[in-house]
Structure 1
Amino acid sequence: MDDVELDELVSALTPREENRALKTYQNTVSVACPACGDPFDDLVVCKENPTSLNLSQQLDFCVGVDDDRALIFTHKR
């Protein structure tokens, strides 16, 4: 995977939710996942280390890093 340019990536996504630990974006325009090349559903940016995720559904995901922040690209099954 090439380095992820977060600012460029999120400019094409729709912001959804933000709290102290996480910021989420929805991929409403079918941007390709930098890891696998398939369109992803949501991007989760982890702002704290460590961060806990409570998943309400079963997902496949790809992971990248930008400036020591984990980037999680979700793919709904």
Structure 2
Amino acid sequence: MRVPTVVDARGHRCPVPTLRLRRALDGLPPGSRAVLLATDPMARIDAPYLMAALGGRVVSVEEADGVLTLTVETRAAPTD
């Protein structure tokens, strides 16, 4: 399994964390994972909306010491 791309958006407010995540996902192959680190609580809401719009999914959401760690996965490649 590939190492996930880490997007560190700690200290930034909405919409910056989600915009950075979107930019990172644009360059990833289908089925890839990314980890968003954010201190803005809106990331807990915005990231799932982004992933739904892109056809991906949120794998996990964790919070520790005021930092949200959201692991997301891009849409898998279509199978024929």
Q: Common fold, TM-score beyond 0.5?
A: no
The structure with the largest helix share of the pair is 2
